């Protein structure tokens, strides 16, 4: 009763009692141009899922599985195989096995002792949106199902319909080509990244609640937030060889989007009647069409785009310590060219960043982190 009265009073006085304010990028997240200034080592539309394996760096381009090799200061990509659906996640078991998420088709395993295994359901739940995967060992796989309702390609629909049907599962891969799945967390708002945390705990990026969770991989104990109220939507998490983690954030939070998410009638009409490309919603890239909705504060003045203003898209990589506290960040601001960071992986002493929105791979040296 008291909470309802507080909300009514907040609405009357204009307070943000709903907690909808977008936090400022400050401190270690202070905007800079470090991502735009880093060298682009390869231009590749739809680049995603950069992953380190014993054989080197791999990734995906749409439905194609790619392997990369260094060529001077650049990367070269070779397609190893192609699938019938877009690749949504990759995980290496460090002994030759590779788990490959396919949009709407679950996860297939190629190589290793479970070669040929195809996982389409998790204890009766359809693996419609395999958003992340992680091997604890060659026989134990952690899987994030971003949404039980929408495919990965429809991530905007999942957000704008305010769904929270995602889950994280522990999957035991058995020797007879089967699997046993146990839920570790349910009702998550689009889990998008996984990593092994301190003490064997799991770290998970929950995109629509803009936070990083920690959970026990052996039980279904309720997860807790270790990093919350991020100014952007988190995606993949990668371990840093010198300790801590790298965190990719694929789109910025926007005050206008936060407002639309609370306006039920407007949001439902927008989703039902407008092309998703022109929704008031976050995006991996923006500015390509005059049909896009008003750019929030990111408007041109005297023919120049204000780089400090919010926009539908942004480029952001964050360096975190072992407790997921941000230490430094790399930005491509509203007027930048490297928006839509969805994956990253360390290889040969450098961090390679997959910028899906811009179709590029960028190389970052940890020593170049802004102070």
With respect to residue 213, please indicate whether it lies within any of the assigned structural domains: yes
With respect to residue 20, please indicate whether it lies within any of the assigned structural domains: no
With respect to residue 2, please indicate whether it lies within any of the assigned structural domains: no
Domains held by the chain: number: 1
With respect to residue 90, please indicate whether it lies within any of the assigned structural domains: yes
The reported pLDDT for the residue numbered 288 is 84
With respect to residue 333, please indicate whether it lies within any of the assigned structural domains: yes
The reported pLDDT for the residue numbered 368 is 41
Report pLDDT digits (tens) over 76-125: 999 999 999 999 999 999 888 999 999 999 999 999 999 999 999 999 99
With respect to residue 11, please indicate whether it lies within any of the assigned structural domains: no
Domain span at residue 157 reads 25-288+296-365
Task: Give the domain CATH number at 236.
Answer: 2.120.10.30
Q: Which residue has the higher pLDDT, 296 or 266?
A: 266
DSSP-derived 3-state class of residue 330: strand
With respect to residue 371, please indicate whether it lies within any of the assigned structural domains: no
* Sheet of 98-102, strand order: 87-92, 98-102, 106-110, 118-119
CB atoms within 10 A of CB 261: 17
Report pLDDT digits (tens) over 139-169: 999 999 999 999 999 999 999 999 999 999 9
Pairing of strands 140-145, 130-137: antiparallel
- Name the pTM for this structure: 0.92
HSE of 320, CA atoms in CB hemisphere, 13 A: 24
Report pLDDT digits (tens) over 205-223: 999 999 999 999 988 789 9
The reported pLDDT for the residue numbered 370 is 39
With respect to residue 331, please indicate whether it lies within any of the assigned structural domains: yes
The reported pLDDT for the residue numbered 3 is 52
Place of tokens 């204009």: 14
């Amino acid at each position: 009763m008291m909470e309802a009265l507080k909300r009514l009073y907040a609405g009357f006085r204009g307070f943000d009692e709903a907690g909808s304010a977008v936090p400022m990028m400050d401190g270690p997240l202070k905007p800079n141009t470090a991502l735009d200034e880093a060298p682009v080592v390869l231009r590749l539309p739809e680049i995603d899922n950069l992953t380190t394996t014993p054989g080197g760096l791999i990734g995906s381009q749409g439905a194609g599985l790619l392997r990369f090799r260094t060529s001077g200061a650049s990367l070269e990509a070779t397609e190893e195989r192609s699938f019938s659906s877009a690749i949504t996640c990759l995980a290496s078991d460090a002994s030759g096995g590779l788990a490959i998420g396919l949009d709407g088709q679950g996860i297939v395993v190629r190589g290793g002792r479970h070669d040929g295994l195809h996982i389409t359901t998790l204890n009766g739940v359809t693996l419609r949106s395999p958003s992340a995967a992680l091997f604890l060992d060659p026989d134990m796989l952690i899987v994030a199902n971003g949404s039980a309702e929408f495919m990965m390609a429809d991530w905007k629909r999942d957000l704008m319909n305010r769904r929270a049907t995602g889950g994280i599962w522990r999957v035991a891969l058995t020797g007879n080509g089967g699997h046993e799945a146990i839920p570790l967390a349910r009702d998550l708002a689009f889990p998008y990244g996984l990593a092994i945390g301190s003490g064997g705990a799991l770290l998970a990026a929950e995109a629509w609640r803009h936070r990083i969770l920690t959970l026990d991989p052996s039980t279904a104990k309720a997860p807790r937030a270790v990093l919350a109220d991020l100014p952007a939507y988190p995606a993949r998490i990668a371990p840093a060889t010198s300790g801590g983690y790298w965190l990719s954030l694929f789109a910025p939070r926007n005050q206008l989007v936060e407002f639309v998410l609370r306006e039920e009638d407007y949001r439902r009409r927008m989703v039902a009647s407008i092309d998703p490309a022109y929704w008031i919603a976050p995006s991996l890239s923006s500015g390509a069409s005059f049909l896009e909705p008003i750019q929030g504060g990111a408007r041109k003045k005297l023919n120049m785009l204000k780089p400090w203003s919010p926009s539908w898209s942004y480029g952001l990589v964050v360096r975190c310590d072992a407790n997921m506290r941000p230490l430094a960040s790399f930005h491509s601001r509203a007027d930048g060219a490297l928006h839509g960071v969805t994956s990253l992986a360390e290889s040969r002493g450098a961090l390679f960043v997959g910028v899906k929105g811009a179709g590029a791979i960028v190389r970052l040296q940890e020593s170049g982190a802004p102070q």
